[in-house]
Amino acid sequence: MKFIDTNIFLRFLTDDDPAIAKRCEDMFKLALKKNEPLYTTDTVIVELVWVLESYYGLSKQAIREKIEKILNTPNLQCPHKDLLFECISLYTIKNIDFVDAYNALIMREKDIKIVYSYDTHFDRISWIKKIEP
C-alpha cells in the first residue's frame, strides 16, 4: 500500500504542469492495473478542497466533481470515504465551507444537536441549533 499526498491529487486534477499530471495519471493507472491499494486521509481531502477553492478559484460544483472522481478511485482507501461523499454533497447543496459540512456530519453522527459558534453556515443545517455565547 502507498500513501497519496495532496500535491499528487492536485497535479493530476489541475493539469497545471502537463508532464507531471501525466506521470501522476500513469501512476494511478499502474496501481489500478496491479490492483495495488492506495491510501489517503480525510485531511488530505480537506486540504485538496481548500486549495482548489482558494488558490485555483474553482466553483463548489467543479470541486465536487473532482473530489468525487478521487473518492471513486476503486483502489483508493480513505478512512471515512462515505462521510466525505456526504460532506462534498452538503458543501455544494448548502453552500457552506467544507470543514463546516464535515463537522456538521460528525455532529449528526454523534447525535450532537447544538453547536457554539459564530459561523452562520451552521444556520443552514436543519439538524443543528447554533448558539452564540
Which of these, 62, 61, 67, 65, lies nearest to 48 by C-alpha position?
A: 67
pLDDT of residue 42: 96
pTM given for the model: 0.90
For the chain (length 133 residues), average pLDDT per consecutive 10?
A: 96 95 96 96 97 97 96 94 96 96 96 97 95 96
pLDDT of residue 129: 97
pLDDT of residue 95: 96
pLDDT of residue 1: 94
List the domain boundaries for the chain.
2-94
Taking the C-alpha atoms of residue 45 and residue 57, their distance in angstroms, rounded to an integer, is 16
